[in-house]
Structure 1
Amino acid sequence: MTDSGSRPRTLAILCNPASGRCRRSLSAIRRRAAQVADSDYREASHPEAIEVVLQQWLGDRVAGIMVLGGDGTLQALLTLLLERFALPPEQWPALLVVGGGTTNMSARALGSRVRPLEALAAAAAWQRGGEAPRRVVHPVVRIEDGGRARCGFFFGGGALTSGVSFFQQRLRDQVAGRWGPRLAFLRLFLTLLRGGRHPLLPATLARLWLQDGQAFEGDCRLVAVSTFSRLMLGARPFWGKGRGGLGVALMGAEAPAPWWRLPLILMGRGRAATRGASGYLSARTEWLELELGQGWMLDGELYGTCAGATPDQRLTLRAVGPIDFRVFGRVTQ
């Protein structure tokens, strides 16, 4: 991997033209990318198309890849590098992450603070000997689902999958920019506070086994796993102790008094909020096994079976890494 201070010999630029920010500025992105010296600009939206481009870049031994896309685009690239091409991270090109999608939680959590056009201008300056992007080292989540594995940053089940579906079906085309995911998150949060029966709160049968021997079996409202400690809107839902790259949080269907406990949990005070209360679980671990009675999501993309199914496929989640990333912070004009 390229040293963080030296410019790459060839900077590959992958743009997902279907991602939110990229879609809205696509013509300007194309013009700006043409101004980056020693670069190879390509567009791809689906994993199959990204695979074709990535295979050529790996064959050409490009030194760096700038990713202009959302959380799903970055997830697809990570999965291809780790699973399809089975490359150890030390053999990867430098990955320069830019939030070009709608939610961009992964890019922000890694420290990226620039939009695609700003990032391309910063990359052009870097190629001319200007300021280099900052190096960030962070693990990812690997989810093995039978014989297939995917890699990303934020796994969710239960109400989190319902929240993603609500955004995709009701808000994606109605609310522009990052306010769509934020409104979906707030709607889900308010629904959880009220409790009771609601389409956004399916009682999902779950079985969970942690590395340290903790286990859960029963109906749950939601389960979240991430290598990030801070999620959308600054939420900090992981309060459990332990050693490991994965933070885990689970809320049972009968967890008491979510109306006052859940706000404290998301503010990072979960240990105090759940003391003595059953139905709440959190830990840090290197791996876990999980069975869910419905589908699951990874970085905003939905996978798995339909809601109401009986758990029949065990998922294995592990922390992989750490992996080197590059990000541009705020750029002053």
Structure 2
Amino acid sequence: MTAAEPRDLLAGRAVARWPLPAYDEGEVREAPVALSEGVLRLGLLSNANSGRNRQQLGRLEALARRYPNVMHFPTGHGGEVREALAEFARHEIDVLAINGGDGTVARVLGEVLEHQPFPGRLPVALLPGGTANMSADRLGVRGSLTRAARRLFDWSAGRHRGTCETLSRPILRVRFADGRDNAYGMFLGAGAVIQGTEYAHRKVHARGLRDNAGLAVAVARTLWGLRRGDPRFASPVPTTLSLDGSRHFPARDALVVLVTSLDRLFLGVNPFWGREPGAVRCTVIASGHRRLLRSLPFMLCGRGHRTAGAGAGHFSHNGHRLEIALDGLINLDGELHRVRPEEGSLVVEKGGSFPFLRI
């Protein structure tokens, strides 16, 4: 698939630069939209293969065509992302919008950080077009896919201005010891996260449950499996990690490994209670954890420090550079990567930050 035609992208009009106030959603009209003064050029990249986009991309494209300031570029595979960003740079967009799941967001922002296609760091708007949309849920435009797109397009066109919250959040860069390309994301998981992901694909998404509802079912089933010691979920992973060279999780089997740069995960879950500065937030729950069931409610709301320290089987700290060696799969914003301890430790650190628009 190739880029949509620019449709005389704001030809002959003066374009205001970021920042501008947002709007409160108002009436909807199906006629072509008349642009107000001070519009913003919006570049929208959609992953045509993401969960919601498989059914709704045509509707979104029709909506985008009503806005002369919106350039929509659907992509069919990852190789087209760089082409789309280069096209957006040629048209000097003011806002980068990403329509897809967590993996799409990570891929696009990783390309921006690695190749710097724009002269400056653009504000980013996330639309929930994927199967898993945790990044969009925490940082994106509010509403369902079509509703959120309409809000974003209207706002960029200068209509119904109100307030727009801007959240600056870091993106994690993962550097692999074997020399493969860097990877980016806002959430990394291992251990039971992998088993929970596989269960979600097999049992949850196949039944039409997606987004927070699907995640809630998969997490609940995973926690129940851990409670019962079900080997389909409780499969410890040999893990060693070091955070900023001073905080260590000694070599032992880990039930769960969680790393994020987000303030919270889906549905406001916050299984992190480190108080140190740093973009890298890490929690590890070891195999054989004492009082796991009793500790879980505290852990999930960021109060794991009330149940004991690392000696009881859990570790939660923040930092700037995480070195981790484990034997198995990691889930980085929905993308799976196999790592082995003999290859060396992978390094997780801040790769850059972006301003995200909450409209």
TM-score, with length taken from structure 1:
0.89
> Does residue 98 of the first structure (1) align with residue 127 of the second (2)?
yes
> Does residue 240 of the first structure (1) align with residue 259 of the second (2)?
no
> Does residue 259 of the first structure (1) align with residue 293 of the second (2)?
yes
CA RMSD in angstroms, aligned pairs only: 2.2
Q: 1:30 to 1:111 in 2, by over 3 A?
A: closer
Q: Indicate if the aligned counterparts of 1:205 and 1:311 stay in contact, CA closer than 8 A.
A: no
Deviation at residue 248 of structure 1 after TM alignment:
0.7
Match of 1:215 in 2: 248
Deviation at residue 303 of structure 1 after TM alignment:
1.2
Deviation at residue 87 of structure 1 after TM alignment:
5.8
- Where do 1:42-57 residues align within 5 Å? 42-57=73-88
Q: 1:156 to 1:22 in 2, by over 3 A?
A: same
Q: Which protein shows a greater Rg?
A: 2
Please say which of residues 285-294 and 233-242 is displaced more in the overlay: 233-242
> Does residue 282 of the first structure (1) align with residue 316 of the second (2)?
yes
SS of alignment partner, residue 172 of structure 1 = helix
Matching residue's letter, 2:349: R
Task: Give a deviation string over 1:150-190, Cα, whole Å, max 9, x none.
Answer: 11111111111221122223332223332333211111121
Please say which of residues 172-181 and 69-78 is displaced more in the overlay: 172-181
Please say which of residues 119-128 and 208-217 is displaced more in the overlay: 119-128
Counterpart CA distance in 1 for 2:51 and 2:310 is: 43
Deviation at residue 2 of structure 1 after TM alignment:
4.5
Instruction: Please point out which of 38, 41, 49 is paired with 1:18.
Output: 49
> Does residue 117 of the first structure (1) align with residue 132 of the second (2)?
no
Deviation at residue 33 of structure 1 after TM alignment:
1.1
Match of 2:20 in 1: 5
Task: Give a deviation string over 1:88-137, Cα, whole Å, max 9, x none.
Answer: 8x713332112222221111212532222122322332243222643221
Q: Indicate if the aligned counterparts of 1:37 and 1:127 stay in contact, CA closer than 8 A.
A: no
Unaligned runs of 5+ in 1: 329-333
Q: Indicate if the aligned counterparts of 1:37 and 1:124 stay in contact, CA closer than 8 A.
A: no
Matching residue's letter, 1:215: H
> Does residue 182 of the first structure (1) align with residue 216 of the second (2)?
yes
Match of 2:137 in 1: 108
Identity of aligned residues (%): 25
Task: Give a deviation string over 1:9-50, Cα, whole Å, max 9, x none.
Answer: 421111222222222322221211111222211111432122
Task: Give a deviation string over 1:282-308, Cα, whole Å, max 9, x none.
Answer: 101011100110010111221124xxx
Q: Indicate if the aligned counterparts of 2:39 and 2:157 stay in contact, CA closer than 8 A.
A: no
Matching residue's letter, 2:301: M
Match of 1:331 in 2: none
Matching residue's letter, 2:276: G
> Does residue 126 of the first structure (1) align with residue 159 of the second (2)?
no
Q: 1:173 to 1:311 in 2, by over 3 A?
A: farther
Deviation at residue 271 of structure 1 after TM alignment:
0.8
- Where do 1:23-34 residues align within 5 Å? 23-34=54-65
Q: 1:87 to 1:226 in 2, by over 3 A?
A: farther
Deviation at residue 277 of structure 1 after TM alignment:
4.4
Q: Indicate if the aligned counterparts of 1:294 and 1:311 stay in contact, CA closer than 8 A.
A: no
Match of 2:108 in 1: 77
Match of 2:236 in 1: 203
Matching residue's letter, 1:259: L
Q: What number of residue pairs does the alignment pair up?
A: 322
Please say which of residues 65-74 and 127-136 is displaced more in the overlay: 127-136
Q: 1:129 to 1:56 in 2, by over 3 A?
A: closer
SS of alignment partner, residue 312 of structure 2 = coil
Q: 1:198 to 1:243 in 2, by over 3 A?
A: same
Matching residue's letter, 2:104: T
Match of 2:206 in 1: 173
Task: Give a deviation string over 1:176-214, Cα, whole Å, max 9, x none.
Answer: 3323332111111212223x3512221101110111512
Q: Kindly report structure 1 stretches of 4+ aligned residues shifted beyond 4 Å.
A: 6-9
Deviation at residue 257 of structure 1 after TM alignment:
1.6
Counterpart CA distance in 2 for 1:311 and 1:171 is: 35
Counterpart CA distance in 1 for 2:234 and 2:80 is: 35
Q: 1:192 to 1:234 in 2, by over 3 A?
A: farther
Q: Indicate if the aligned counterparts of 1:4 and 1:133 stay in contact, CA closer than 8 A.
A: no
Q: Indicate if the aligned counterparts of 2:259 and 2:282 stay in contact, CA closer than 8 A.
A: yes
Q: Indicate if the aligned counterparts of 2:86 and 2:117 stay in contact, CA closer than 8 A.
A: no
> Does residue 154 of the first structure (1) align with residue 169 of the second (2)?
no
Please say which of residues 293-302 and 116-125 is displaced more in the overlay: 116-125
Q: 1:39 to 1:111 in 2, by over 3 A?
A: closer
Counterpart CA distance in 2 for 1:248 and 1:2 is: 37
